[in-house]
């Protein structure tokens, strides 16, 4: 695909987002803001045990309570057999999702949903939950990933045998899967190396931490037709999950996207939606369910905690000779940690001949993990970029020069398979090195760290429509929830193609019955994929506008061009006509063939990978172990920034989530297997006063697979920060922290041990 | 449950409502009065998404009983714009892209307005500490803090 | 649950004393409403004391200050004379929660909630503050350090409420300071907190000192040994090290999600040293 010359009118500008007024005035309707007449309140009973057999659940007393209109357990939804767990080639295991939404036979973590009620008031719903009698046979539990791998560990699933090993094991295990990626021969590489560093690291499970708790309203009519309103990262995915989990046809219901108050991967999986739909079908009334913050922490998210080892060897001249890593990720109660993506991304910024990465996906008695921004990549990068930093130090090389010497470029074969096309790894590292921050002086007790990061970026299915209104304005309809300003980008793309003003375009995120299928808003794919669909749909409109102009002028369509928002004759040979603006053509649509409506449905490929390089300065209080991030610069290849403010915002937000992961965020379990910090008081996400401004540099190495050169931007910013902060702490103190978070007690202990 | 009758003022208008004594001011605003601009993020005063003004002070409405509003003045995000004219903070938040998902935005705006009403020329550090009780998970706070400083400068210039 | 908002202390005392079932005082509500919401308390009666004028005022009295128990953190910070005389007490109260919490949270609530990690309490104890307790049998005065007996436990009997705090007059060259350690910069509960109150003599030697620590024992402790290490010294390195050691020796903390025994003990020493230096500087500046 040819890249259009970068002389854009709208692409690259910073207009106010179309949904902005609603969001600064309180008008915007998020998940919990909807209500319906005659609505019931739904609530969920959750397991207090990390691991127990459900001997019996007696709901009779709850069902008999006045005001209770429906009670549900797993017995009310069809069991999905093992050989029917998947739909098509998608990786989603619906059997596991079903057992996660309402526990079947066993509860597998503190907070696992056991039963649900719908009642006429929240107080009655609470009273009903207290009347449900559950007989638990408490089983031994295992929380830590390393403990879960031991031979004598309590086994969560009797039908789980480690995949990816030969011969196939004959005993069930908590190790769901082993994956391996290799390139060249690492043994030979290490033999040549002048310096080899091997380190082991641990990270803790962290939550996405969106401020909006999960919420839903479901409503079912007597004919079985249902509506579901909810915030999610993909209402088509919620539709698929509800249909599969409840055994109903997709045409029987419609999912409306509420405004979504943050997701970061955590609002991909279904939790409340199938349950609300079930309760609504049982009661015949609308059912609203909203999680408490404690429920969000106990039963949704988080991403994996992990144990990893990294071994890298390099030559004196700074070339990496060989690199190995073993990543062991917590999946939570069901298989499916992002260990594969961790393995694939970790060494991807570098051109290394000999690589071996092994990953293990391990279940334990924790909530089923869910995607979190660049799933898996930050964990791998934390270990790998820490070891790289140590090697650069040992070889007395500048850490950015060392990375540049090994940087991936066009033609580099990545260990996970592909050969890179045009990428911006070198440009990104170079921009970091040239940034004034990199050479700025440091104060006492301060240190500077750098780290790089990689993310694939995803593409996928999208469907969009552009409808031209009779007054010359246009509606852009697409199907990806707007979490961070994508409506603006869609309007900019349509304005660019149509040549009309941004303000004349209204972008709408449509419900599942009003537009074709769209994949989830995840994987940094929306501006690329939905943007491509909008671009194609707008081009479809341009084709129709040319046809209408040709009709109005009675000349051949080939003789009409569309330029700067008007139709013109292609040359004087075509005839002498005054240009027709979009509004002129729209006004005559009824006489020239009816409504002007462009559509595009596509399965996009070619999302360009993106690279990031971060510089972090910290100050360490040597007496208390407190770390303060005092300066931070994030450099990233965006391909082409459609709306630079929102690209910067993604970078800043990702960085700060990474800083939280590095410094203070962690799931803390007691010896009883219960989560001890299910709230924002003790699950410590960064607050405004913890942080400096986050400087950003957008590098633009256009993606050749996109008309404007767009690459995904949302995820890679969370990849480098944990290593960048760790490397900065090492620079300030001489101590390399191999365990996250680097909370004050941990750092002070390490400072005193000098390790 | 016997309900309490409460007479109060919300965004300058007299309002009466009935509430269960256990209901919070946030419950009343959202569930009884349909003022859903104030958001519930935690119900424990840790996120600030439910920030409202109560007799001129910014508070978490999840930590105020509905019954406590009797005879007092409540201001919410819904009262911040004057007709079609946005408050400068609202406008600058939009111009500078200080929101991504937008769930925390009403709370930030209410809290930031309380700051500027009291201190028209805050430093960056003062802004950051004043807003430390408002959690945002999308923006990293950078554009929010800049917007508050820029709106303050603009308001001083008037 | 019944909600009452009496106008007089006697009325509040009568309501609480006569209550059948669980009755709670509602001051700022920043602890009570969290417990209510989580279903951890189910009171039959809640008595809102914020309409009792006497409990909502700061007054200068007998050379010191009388601070109503329902005065909020924000009001502490806005009172210039109080801030000048008792900067440590004010900074401690201002550390309780966010701006939003500051508009509601009260010193009386912070004391009566009886958290071992209450920020304003060590500063009040270091200040030598007493409080007035009103109850069915009339009023009595008690030292702040004697109110809490353990986590969530106080000496208050049925129908008793803390009405106010009394801060004594300030001798010349006196000042106080409060420091706490939290992982973030705001929004956390103290891992350790230290309040130091000093009076210097004309030669700059420490004439009098009171020190209290929080989050290192089941209740906030006044530690005389730390004060003794400072008294008579120039608050130099040697005295500070003795004070820090005494602080560490006084610690009897627990391991929990917020800190370890080892960490809390070390930090108690660090904070005592730092707070003493701040108080010394403030006292020397003639505040």
CATH code for the domain of B30: 3.10.20.30
Nearest to A548 by CA among A580, A574, A572: A580
Question: Do A689 and C266 count as a contact with CB atoms less than 8 A apart?
Answer: no
Nearest to C45 by CA among C74, C77, C11, C73: C11
B48 touches chain A (CB under 8 A): no
Given B34, B55, B79, the domain boundary residue is: B79
Mean pLDDT of A552-558: 96
Together in a domain, A614 and A721: yes
Together in a domain, A473 and A616: no
Q: Are A538 and A507 in contact (CB under 8 A)?
A: no
Scanning B83-112 for CB atoms below 8 A from A yields: 86, 90-91, 93-97, 99-106, 109
Together in a domain, B10 and B59: yes
Q: What three-state secondary structure class fits A622?
A: coil
pLDDT in the model for residue A5: 56
Decide if A189 is inside a domain.
Answer: no
Q: Which CATH number is A377's domain given?
A: 3.30.365.10
Cβ atoms < 10 Å from Cβ of A339: 30
CB-nearest partner of C267 from A624, A677, A682: A624
Cα separation, A124 vs A68, whole angstroms? 7
Task: State the residue for tokens 């009496």.
Answer: C6
Size of interface B-C (CB pairs under 8 A): 89
B45 touches chain C (CB under 8 A): yes
Contacts of A721 in chain B (CB under 8 A): none
Nearest to A459 by CA among A609, A234, A338: A609
CB-nearest partner of B39 from A19, A30, A681: A30
User: For residue A591, is it left (φ>0), alpha (ψ between -120 and 50) or beta?
Assistant: alpha
A213 touches chain B (CB under 8 A): yes
Q: Which residue does chain B place closest to A260, by CA atoms?
A: B101
* Radius of gyration for chain A, computed over Cα atoms and rounded to the nearest angstrom: 27
Q: Nearest 5°: phi and psi at C233? A: -100, 170
Per-residue pLDDT of A513-527, as tens digits, reads 999 999 998 888 899
Question: Do B44 and A293 count as a contact with CB atoms less than 8 A apart?
Answer: yes
Q: Which residue does chain B place closest to A650, by CA atoms?
A: B139
Given A552, A575, A604, the domain boundary residue is: A604
Contacts of B42 in chain A (CB under 8 A): 293, 679-680
Together in a domain, A594 and A695: no
Per-residue pLDDT of A301-322, as tens digits, reads 999 999 999 999 999 999 999 9
Assigned token pair, C120: 């304003």
Q: Which residue does chain C place closest to A623, by CA atoms?
A: C270
Per-residue pLDDT of A426-466, as tens digits, reads 999 999 999 999 999 999 999 999 999 999 999 999 999 99
A370 touches chain B (CB under 8 A): no
Q: Which residue does chain B place closest to C3, by CA atoms?
A: B21
Tell me the whole-structure pTM to 2 decimals: 0.97
Together in a domain, A436 and A511: no
Contacts of C37 in chain B (CB under 8 A): 24, 43-44, 62
Q: Are A114 and A45 in contact (CB under 8 A)?
A: yes
**Beta-sheet strand order (sheet of A474-478):** A505-509, A474-478, A460-468, A597-604
Together in a domain, A653 and A527: no
What's the first-to-final CA gap in chain B, in angstroms? Answer: 52
Q: Which residue does chain B place closest to A679, by CA atoms?
A: B42
Cα separation, A164 vs B84, whole angstroms? 62
Which of these CATH numbers, 3.40.50.620, 3.40.50.1970, 3.30.390.50, 1.10.150.20, describes C174-284?
A: 3.30.390.50
Question: Do C183 and A663 count as a contact with CB atoms less than 8 A apart?
Answer: yes
Task: State the residue for tokens 């910073």.
Answer: A14
Q: Which CATH number is A54's domain given?
A: 3.90.1170.50
Q: Which residue does chain A place closest to B79, by CA atoms?
A: A25
Cα separation, A575 vs A565, whole angstroms? 19
Together in a domain, A589 and A633: no
Q: Are A218 and A279 in contact (CB under 8 A)?
A: yes
pLDDT level of residue A155 (50, 70, 90 thresholds): very high
Together in a domain, B9 and B70: yes
DSSP line for A718-740: GSSHHHHHHHHHHHHHS----BS
Contacts of B57 in chain C (CB under 8 A): 72, 74, 103-104
Torsion of the alpha carbons at A340, A341, A343 and A345, rounded to the nearest 10: 160
Contacts of C259 in chain A (CB under 8 A): 745
Contacts of A16 in chain B (CB under 8 A): 94-95
**Beta-bridge partner residues of A324:** A311, A356
Cβ atoms < 10 Å from Cβ of C151: 14
Cα separation, A240 vs A243, whole angstroms? 5
Given B79, B104, B136, the domain boundary residue is: B79
Per 3-state DSSP, what percentage of chain A is helix, strand, and coil (rounded to 5)? 30, 25, 45
**Beta-sheet strand order (sheet of A560-563):** A560-563, A566-569, A580-581
Assigned token pair, C203: 């030669």
Q: Where are the domains of chain C?
A: 50-167, 174-284
CB-nearest partner of B105 from A23, A652, A681: A23
H or E segment at B93? helix B88-95
CB-nearest partner of B65 from C3, C34, C72: C3
Nearest to A425 by CA among A561, A610, A550: A610
Q: Are C177 and C260 in contact (CB under 8 A)?
A: no
Q: Are A324 and A200 in contact (CB under 8 A)?
A: no
Decide if A150 is inside a domain.
Answer: no
Chains that touch C (3 or more CB pairs under 8 A): A, B
Q: Are A283 and A118 in contact (CB under 8 A)?
A: yes
| Mutation target among A623, A656, A663 for the C interface, most CBs of C within 10 A | A623
Q: Are B129 and B121 in contact (CB under 8 A)?
A: no
pLDDT in the model for residue C245: 98
pLDDT at A643 > cutoff 70: yes
Question: Do C184 and A676 count as a contact with CB atoms less than 8 A apart?
Answer: no
pLDDT level of residue A573 (50, 70, 90 thresholds): confident
Cα separation, C27 vs C39, whole angstroms? 19
The ipTM (two decimal places) reads 0.98
Q: Nearest 5°: phi and psi at B47? A: -120, -20
Question: Do B90 and A652 count as a contact with CB atoms less than 8 A apart?
Answer: no
List residues in chain A touching C: CB distance below 8 A: 126, 294, 623-626, 663-664, 668, 676-677, 680-682, 684, 686-687, 689-690, 743-745, 748-749
Q: Are A710 and A647 in contact (CB under 8 A)?
A: no
Burial tier of A577 (Cβ tally within 10 Å: 0-12, 13-18, 19+): middle
Cα separation, A634 vs A694, whole angstroms? 7
User: For residue A12, is it left (φ>0), alpha (ψ between -120 and 50) or beta?
Assistant: left
With pLDDT > 90 as the criterion, what percentage of chain B qualifies? Answer: 97
Chain C nearest C-alpha distance from B11 (Å): 19
Q: Which residue does chain B place closest to A296, by CA atoms?
A: B42
- Poorest-pLDDT segment among A5-19, A56-70, A125-139, C180-194: A5-19
Handedness of CA A561, A564, A547, A583 (dihedral sign): negative
pLDDT level of residue C287 (50, 70, 90 thresholds): very low
CB-nearest partner of A687 from C187, C266, C270: C187
Given A604, A639, A674, the domain boundary residue is: A604
Please tell me the CATH code under which domain C50-167 is placed: 3.30.465.10
How many domains is chain B partitioned into structurally?
A: 2
pLDDT at C286 > cutoff 80: no
Question: Do C1 and B22 count as a contact with CB atoms less than 8 A apart?
Answer: yes
- Mean pLDDT estimate for chain A: 96
H or E segment at B4? strand B4-10
Together in a domain, B56 and B118: no
Decide if A69 is inside a domain.
Answer: yes
Chain B nearest C-alpha distance from C207 (Å): 36
DSSP line for chain C: -EEE--SSHHHHHHHHHH-SS-EEEESS-TTHHHHHHTTS---SEEEE-TT-GGGG-EEEETTEEEEETT-BHHHHHH-HHHHHH-HHHHHHHHTSS-HHHHTT-BHHHHHHTT-TT-SHHHHHHHHT-EEEEEETTEEEEEEGGGTEEETTEES--TT-EEEEEEEPPPPSSEEEEEEEE-SSSSS---SEEEEEEEEE-TTS-EEEEEEEEESSSSS-EE-HHHHHHHTTS---HHHHHHHHHHHHHH-----BTTB-HHHHHHHHHHHHHHHHHHHHHHHHTT-
Structural domain for B97, as ranges: 88-157
Cα separation, C107 vs A635, whole angstroms? 47
Together in a domain, B9 and B56: yes
pLDDT at A89 > cutoff 80: no
H or E segment at A399? helix A399-405
pLDDT in the model for residue A6: 65
Question: Do A24 and B90 count as a contact with CB atoms less than 8 A apart?
Answer: yes
Q: Which residue does chain B place closest to C78, by CA atoms?
A: B118
Decide if A7 is inside a domain.
Answer: no
Chains that touch B (3 or more CB pairs under 8 A): A, C
Assigned token pair, A755: 């390790």
Torsion of the alpha carbons at A328, A330, A334 and A339, rounded to the nearest 10: -50
Report the length, in residues, of chain C: 287
Angle at C275 between CA C274 and CA C281, to 5 degrees: 95
How many domains is chain A partitioned into structurally?
A: 3
Given B55, B79, B103, the domain boundary residue is: B79
Cα A728 to Cα A349, A447, A691, distances in angstroms: 20, 5, 15
Q: Are A647 and A698 in contact (CB under 8 A)?
A: yes
Question: Do B63 and C104 count as a contact with CB atoms less than 8 A apart?
Answer: yes
Together in a domain, B95 and B71: no
Q: Are B90 and B80 in contact (CB under 8 A)?
A: yes
Cα A477 to Cα A491, A542, A561, A580, A598, distances in angstroms: 10, 16, 25, 25, 10
Cα separation, A256 vs A228, whole angstroms? 6
pLDDT level of residue C282 (50, 70, 90 thresholds): very high
Scanning A181-210 for CB atoms below 8 A from B yields: 208-210
Structural domain for A451, as ranges: 306-457+608-753
* A225/C61: higher pLDDT: A225
Mean pLDDT of A371-382: 97
Assigned token pair, A689: 């006063």
Cα separation, C192 vs C267, whole angstroms? 7
Decide if A121 is inside a domain.
Answer: yes
Cα A310 to Cα A456, A662, C66, C240, distances in angstroms: 21, 18, 62, 45
pLDDT in the model for residue B66: 98
Per-residue pLDDT of C42-99, as tens digits, reads 999 999 999 999 999 999 988 899 999 999 999 999 999 999 999 999 999 999 999 9
DSSP line for A425-493: HHHHHHHHHHSHHHH----TTEEEEEEEEEE----EEEEEEEEE-TTS-EEEEE-S--SSSHHHHHHHH
Together in a domain, B34 and B55: yes
- For β-strands C23-26 and C45-48, DSSP reports them as parallel
Q: Which CATH number is B136's domain given?
A: 1.10.150.120
CB within 8 Å of A251: residues ≥ 6 apart: none
Contacts of B68 in chain C (CB under 8 A): 5, 26, 29, 48, 50
Q: At what angle do helices B88-95 and B105-118 cross, to 10 degrees?
A: 130
Per-residue pLDDT of A461-503, as tens digits, reads 999 999 999 999 999 999 999 998 999 999 999 999 999 999 9
Contacts of A672 in chain C (CB under 8 A): none
Cα separation, C56 vs A616, whole angstroms? 47
Size of interface A-B (CB pairs under 8 A): 185
pLDDT in the model for residue A4: 52
* Radius of gyration for chain C, computed over Cα atoms and rounded to the nearest angstrom: 19
| Mutation target among A13, A18, A19, A25 for the B interface, most CBs of B within 10 A | A25
Cα separation, A703 vs A719, whole angstroms? 20
């Amino acid at each position: 695909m040819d890249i259009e010359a970068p002389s854009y009118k709208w692409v690259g500008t910073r207009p106010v987002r179309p949904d902005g007024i609603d969001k600064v005035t309180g008008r915007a309707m998020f998940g919990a803001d909807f209500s319906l007449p005659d609505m019931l309140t739904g609530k969920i009973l959750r397991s207090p045990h990390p691991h127990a057999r459900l001997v019996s659940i007696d709901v009779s007393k709850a069902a008999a309570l006045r005001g209770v209109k429906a009670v549900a357990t797993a017995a009310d939804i069809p069991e999905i057999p093992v050989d029917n767990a998947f739909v098509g080639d998608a990786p989603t295991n619906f059997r596991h999702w079903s057992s996660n939404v309402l526990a079947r036979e066993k509860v597998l973590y503190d907070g696992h949903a056991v039963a649900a009620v719908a009642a006429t008031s929240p107080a009655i719903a609470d009273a009903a939950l207290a009347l449900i009698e559950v007989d638990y046979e408490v089983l031994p539990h295992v929380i830590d990933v390393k403990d879960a791998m031991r031979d004598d560990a309590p086994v969560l699933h009797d039908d789980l045998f480690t995949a990816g090993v030969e011969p196939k094991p004959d005993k069930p295990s908590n190790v769901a899967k082993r994956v391996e990626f290799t390139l060249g021969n690492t043994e030979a590489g290490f033999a040549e190396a002048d310096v080899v560093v091997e380190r082991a690291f641990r990270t803790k499970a962290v939550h996405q931490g969106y401020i909006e708790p999960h919420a839903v309203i479901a409503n079912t009519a007597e004919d079985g037709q249902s509506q579901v309103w909810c915030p999610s990262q993909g209402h088509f995915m919620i539709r698929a999950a509800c249909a599969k989990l409840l055994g109903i046809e997709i045409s029987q219901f419609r999912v409306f996207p509420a405004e979504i108050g943050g997701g970061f991967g955590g609002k991909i999986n279904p939790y409340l939606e199938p349950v609300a739909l079930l309760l609504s079908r049982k009661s015949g009334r609308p059912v609203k369910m909203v999680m408490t913050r404690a429920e969000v922490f106990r039963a949704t998210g988080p991403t994996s905690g992990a144990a990893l080892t990294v071994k890298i060897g390099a030559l004196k001249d700074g070339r990496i000779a060989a690199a190995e890593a073993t990543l062991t990720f917590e999946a939570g109660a069901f298989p499916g940690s992002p260990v594969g993506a961790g393995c694939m991304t970790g060494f991807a910024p570098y051109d290394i001949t000999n690589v071996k990465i092994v990953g293990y996906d391990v279940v334990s008695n924790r909530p089923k993990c869910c995607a979190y921004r660049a799933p898996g990549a930050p964990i791998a990068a934390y270990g790998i970029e820490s070891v790289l930093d140590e090697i650069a130090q040992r070889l007395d090389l500048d850490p950015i020069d060392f990375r540049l010497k090994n940087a991936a470029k066009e033609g580099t074969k990545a260990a996970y398979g592909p050969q890179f096309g045009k990428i911006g790894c070198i440009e990104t590292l170079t921009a970091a090195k040239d940034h004034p921050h990199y050479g700025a002086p440091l104060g006492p007790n301060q240190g500077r760290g750098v780290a790089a990061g990689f993310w694939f970026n995803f593409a996928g299915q999208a469907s969009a429509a552009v409808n031209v209104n009779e007054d010359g304005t246009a509606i852009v309809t697409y199907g990806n929830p707007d979490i961070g300003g994508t409506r603006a980008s869609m309007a900019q793309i349509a304005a660019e193609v149509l040549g009309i003003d941004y303000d004349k375009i209204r972008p709408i995120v449509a419900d599942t019955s009003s537009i074709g299928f769209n994949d989830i808003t995840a994987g940094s794919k929306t501006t690329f994929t939905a943007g491509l669909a909008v671009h194609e749909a707008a081009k479809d409109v341009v084709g129709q506008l040319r046809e209408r102009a040709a009709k109005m002028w009675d000349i051949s369509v080939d003789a009409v061009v569309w330029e700067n928002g008007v139709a013109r004759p292609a040359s004087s040979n075509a005839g002498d006509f005054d240009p027709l603006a979009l509004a002129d053509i729209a006004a005559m649509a009824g006489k020239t063939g009816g409504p002007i409506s462009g559509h595009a449905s596509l399965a996009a490929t070619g999302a360009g990978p993106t690279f990031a390089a971060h510089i972090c300065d910290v100050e360490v209080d040597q007496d208390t172990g407190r770390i303060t991030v005092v300066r931070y610069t994030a450099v990233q290849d965006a391909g082409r920034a459609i709306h630079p403010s929102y690209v910067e915002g993604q970078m800043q937000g990702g960085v700060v989530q990474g800083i939280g992961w590095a410094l203070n965020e962690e799931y803390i379990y007691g010896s009883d297997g219960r989560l001890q910090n299910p709230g924002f008081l003790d699950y410590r996400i960064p607050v405004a006063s913890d942080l400096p401004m986050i400087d950003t540099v957008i590098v633009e190495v256009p993606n050749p697979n996109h008309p404007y050169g767009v690459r995904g931007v949302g995820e890679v910013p969370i990849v480098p920060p944990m290593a960048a902060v760790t490397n900065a702490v090492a620079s300030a103190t001489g101590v390399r922290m191999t365990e996250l978070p680097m909370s004050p007690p941990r750092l002070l202990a390490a400072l005193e041990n000098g390790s | 449950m016997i309900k309490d009758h409460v007479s109060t003022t919300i965004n300058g208008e007299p309002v009466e409502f009935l509430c269960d004594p256990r209901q919070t001011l946030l419950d009343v605003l959202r569930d009884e009065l349909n003022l859903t601009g104030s958001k519930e993020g935690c119900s424990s005063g840790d996120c600030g998404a439910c920030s409202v003004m109560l007799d001129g002070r910014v508070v978490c409405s999840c930590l105020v009983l509905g019954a406590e509003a009797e005879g007092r003045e409540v201001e919410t995000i819904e009262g911040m714009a004057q007709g079609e004219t946005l408050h400068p903070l609202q406008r600058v938040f939009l111009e500078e892209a200080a929101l991504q998902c937008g769930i925390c935005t009403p709370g930030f705006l209410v809290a930031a307005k309380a700051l500027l009403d009291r201190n028209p020329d805050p430093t960056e550090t003062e802004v950051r500490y004043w807003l430390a009780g408002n959690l945002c998970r999308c923006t990293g706070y950078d554009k929010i803090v800049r917007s508050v400083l820029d709106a303050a400068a603009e308001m001083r210039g008037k | 649950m019944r909600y009452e908002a009496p106008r007089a202390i006697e009325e509040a005392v009568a309501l609480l004393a006569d209550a059948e079932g669980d009755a709670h005082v509602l001051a700022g509500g920043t602890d009570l409403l969290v417990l209510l919401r989580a279903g951890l308390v189910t009171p039959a009666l809640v008595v809102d004391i914020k309409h009792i004028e006497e409990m909502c005022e700061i007054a200068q009295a007998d050379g010191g200050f009388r601070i109503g128990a329902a005065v909020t953190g924000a009001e502490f910070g806005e009172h210039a004379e109080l801030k000048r005389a008792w900067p440590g007490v004010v900074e401690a109260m201002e550390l309780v929660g966010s701006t939003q919490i500051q508009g509601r949270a009260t010193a009386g609530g912070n004391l009566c909630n009886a958290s071992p990690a209450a920020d304003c309490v060590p500063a009040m104890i270091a200040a030598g503050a007493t409080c007035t307790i009103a109850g069915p049998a009339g009023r009595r005065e008690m030292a702040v350090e004697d109110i809490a007996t353990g986590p969530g436990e106080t000496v208050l009997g049925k129908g008793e409420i803390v009405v106010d705090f009394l801060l004594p007059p300030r001798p010349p060259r006196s000042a106080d300071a409060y420091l706490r350690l939290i992982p973030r910069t705001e929004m956390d509960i103290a891992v350790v907190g230290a309040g130091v109150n000093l009076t210097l003599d004309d030669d700059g030697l420490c004439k009098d000192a009171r020190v209290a620590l929080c989050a290192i024992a089941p209740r906030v402790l006044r530690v005389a040994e730390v004060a003794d290490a400072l008294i008579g010294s120039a608050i130099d390195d040697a005295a500070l090290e003795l004070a820090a050691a005494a602080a560490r020796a006084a610690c009897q903390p627990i391991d929990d999600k917020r800190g370890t025994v080892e960490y809390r003990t070390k930090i108690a020493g660090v904070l005592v040293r730092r707070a003493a230096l701040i108080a010394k500087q403030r006292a020397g500046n003639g505040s």
